[in-house]
Chain A
Amino acid sequence: MAMVLDKTHRFKVIAAHAGLIFFLALTLFPFLMIVSISLRPGNFAAGSLIPEQISFEHWKLALGIGYTDASGQWVAPPFPVLRWLWNSIKIATISAAVILLLSTTCAYAFARLRFAGRRLGLNILFLMQMFPAVLSLIAIYAVFDAIGSYVPWLGIDSHGSLILAYAGGLALHIWTIKGYFDTIPVEIEEAARVDGATHFQAFRYVLLPMAVPILVVVFLLAFIGAIIEYPVASVLLHQEQNLTLAVGSKLFLYTQNYLWGDFAAAAILSGLPITVVFLLAQRYMISGLTAGGVKG
């Protein structure tokens, strides 16, 4: 702390702080706006950031309670928002778990096993990922329509179909995890093999525990991706009961009547599971797990 500082240092610190505060405000503003809209009576997008009057009518609707409006009329919740939230959480959790399972094992094969077509396979995976899923919406619809006539629980308008569709998008995750595996010295697993571990045991007891931080990141990314995904979900899910929150909350915005307040409350709700999962995941994202194994 007794370091000698240049005169310009003070100025730089102040400038840096000012810049940071500015960007923080820039990113926080939309969020605060949404919060404000959801607490304002009526459905208006415009208005001051701090509402003059606080009303929980939108939240009551979102949470499925209902309320009595100014004219004394009972307003029932128009949509099963909590049900949508539950659908979103269920689909995101299962698809993220499936993605994690598949991409970890694939990444292990690509990183550690030597087989013909390894390079080619990796590159094809990468190329496939370049095409946005939107481009294949029609194909996805047709495929699941066909599957549905044999396996109903994987057909159109089933959660199974959406989970399967999401689980297909794991190329990028395979690359991420493989990149991390590549940084872990092979000798550590060889030591495990000498200790008597099979390939699977070396993977399970030695490699996986060291890879926990990256696995958490991949789970998080997959989870967030599934929660906020709109195009594929909107094509595959139809019945109101089955929608995810991302698709369902769009119903608040009909062409004649944009229910901004109700929409805002639903949007904040959809951020809730992401926040919770992130907070849970954070403590596993520690660095330095692989330190000390080998001489650097």
Chain B
Amino acid sequence: MATLTLKQIRKQFGEVTTLHGIDLDIADGEFIVFVGPSGCGKSTLLRTIAGLEDISAGELAIDGVRVNDLPPVKRGIAMVFQSYALYPHMSVFENMAFGLKLAGMSKTEYTPPVTRAARVLQIEHLLERKPAALSGGQRQRVAIGRAIVQKPKVFLFDEPLSNLDAALRVQMRIEIARLHRELRATMIYVTHDQVEAMTLADRIVVLRAGRIEQVGTPIELYHAPANLFVAGFLGSPQMNFVTGSIVAIDAHGVDVALPDAQRVRVAVDAAGAQPGDKVTLGVRPEHLSLVAGGNAIAAAAIALEHLGDASVLYLQAPGTGETLSARLPALTRIAEGEVCRLGFRPEHGYLFRADGTAFRRLNPLA
């Protein structure tokens, strides 16, 4: 129902700059997810969009109209807080009706939308209760219901599910996805949870220290990360990194020498690079497997974890002290200290320049 345009948005708290010029265009009905490490400014960005923090510099437009100086309601946004932030002295019904009441609606006017939202969220039987008598999941539904009845152009969610247990989180995640399909509203969602980001987002915005590192669809970010940071941030367990240097370049890829002189091959377009350049090799744990020969890294095992459906093997990276991990089939048996050869296909490898930017992968979706 609304497009958002962020132009060079900056936010300062006194001397400290928290957002360093954010540029972002959000399409009508899009589901945008902000991810990034703790303290990178996700909440601050969301709160500046909401109008709870003023914008130090730059321009925020909703549907093409500059809204920098408008209070939250006038921007047509509604927000769901991480801590729910319900009104504890009001019943669920009053919680959801509060905004409509303030807007001057009479009881006969605001009752239908509130009951409709309650029905959508399956909290009709709780309408008379106070928030203290609700479970965490029910409270979060009320908070979402309070946002829905406002009929906002843009929904803002600040880690709405982080207080819920794992099972409930999955259930609510599915409900939020359904809500997005039904309401077709623009939604901006902050999360720490990779699975939430990957499953809900039309596009993910990766933030670091107040700057956007990359914007793209979940598939793009996973298969074609722009740099080391994004590559390391998405994926669990984290992508393995080993430093090395280029020894040979041809049309189908690059040969990389690792610190202990092992050689591996990665299928990337190394245009502009020279043999001898320092690079970082990246391989996702799920792309490694135990092999006898071929394109592989040899490393000593440190520990093995059995997850049930798979085993995660931790190894000492060659030449450096870093830990590598490999996702292997369930019930793999490896002794501690044993040297393993972990193979991967060249097209599954990633390669990063010394400044952290990624080489273009030749066949990213292979």
Whether B234 is near chain A, meaning CB under 8 Å from some CB there, is no
Please list the 7 inter-chain residue pairs (A to B) with the smallest Cβ-Cβ separation, ordered nearest first: A292-B132, A195-B99, A292-B131, A293-B88, A196-B73, A294-B83, A187-B85
A residues near B (Cβ < 8 Å) are 185, 187-188, 190-197, 201, 205-206, 209-210, 288-295
Q: How far is the CA of A205 from the CA of B132 in the complex (A)?
A: 18
Chain A's closest residue to B81 (CB) is A187
The answer to the question of B139 belonging to the interface, with a C-beta cut-off of 8 Å to chain A, is: yes
Partner of B86, one of A190, A194, A293: A293
The contact string, 1 if C-beta is below 8 Å from chain A, for chain B 199-226, is 0000000000000000000000000000
Contacts of A294 in B (CB 8 A): 81, 83-86
Q: Report the bound CA distance from A289 to B50 in whole Å.
A: 28
Determine the chain A residues whose CB is within 8 A of the CB of B136 once the complex forms. Answer: 295
Q: Enumerate chain A residues within 8 angstroms of B103, measured Cβ to Cβ.
A: 196
Across-interface contacts of A205 in B (CB, < 8 A): 98
Smallest CB-CB separation from B147: which chain A residue?
A194
- Nearest-CB residue, chain B, relative to A205: B98
- Residue B146 at the chain A interface, CB threshold 8 Å: yes
A190 to B85, CA, bound (A): 8
**Contacts A193-B52, A196-B102: A292 and B88 contacting too (C-beta < 8 A)?**
yes
Residues in chain B near residue A196, CB distance under 8 A: 72-73, 99, 102-103, 150
* Contact indicator B87/A289 (Cβ below 8 Å): no
Kindly state whether residue B45 has any CB partner on chain A within 8 Å. no
Which residues of chain B have a CB within 8 Å of any CB of chain A? Answer: 50-52, 71-73, 77-79, 81-89, 98-99, 102-103, 130-134, 136, 139, 143, 146, 150, 163
A188 contacts which chain B residues (CB < 8 A)? 85-88
Which residue from A191, A201, A210 sits with its C-beta under 8 Å from B89? A210
Q: Is the CB of A290 within 8 A of B88?
A: yes
Closest to A196 in B: B73
Whole-angstrom CA separation of A196 from B79 in the bound complex: 12
A290 — which chain B residues lie within 8 A by C-beta?
A: 88-89
A292: chain B residues at CB < 8 Å are: 86, 88, 130-134, 139
Q: How far is the CB of A188 from chain B (nearest CB, A)?
A: 5
Beyond A196-B150, A209-B89, 7 additional pairs, beta carbon < 8 A: A190-B81, A194-B72, A195-B102, A196-B73, A292-B86, A293-B85, A294-B81
Which residues of B lie under 8 Å from residue A194 when comparing CB positions?
50-52, 72-73, 77-79, 99
A292 and B143 alpha carbons, distance in the complex (Å): 12
The listed residue (A187, A197, A201, A291) touching B83 by CB distance below 8 A is: A187
Q: Which residues from B are CB-within-8-Å of A193? A: 52, 71-72
List A contacts of B99 (CB < 8 A).
194-196
Residue on B nearest A186 in the bound complex, by CB: B85
Beta-carbon nearest neighbor of B149 in chain A: A195
Q: Which of A190, A289, A293 contacts B52 (CB 8 A)?
A: A190
A-chain residues with CB within 8 Å of residue B130 when the two chains form the complex: 292
A/B interface sample: 11 pairs, CB < 8 A = A195-B99, A205-B98, A210-B88, A290-B88, A291-B132, A292-B86, A292-B88, A293-B84, A293-B87, A294-B84, A295-B82
In the complex, are the beta carbons of A293 and B131 less than 8 A apart? yes
Q: Are A191 and B163 in contact (CB under 8 A)?
A: no
CA distance A193 to B71 in the complex (A): 8
The residues of A that contact B88 with a CB separation of less than 8 Å are 188, 210, 289-293
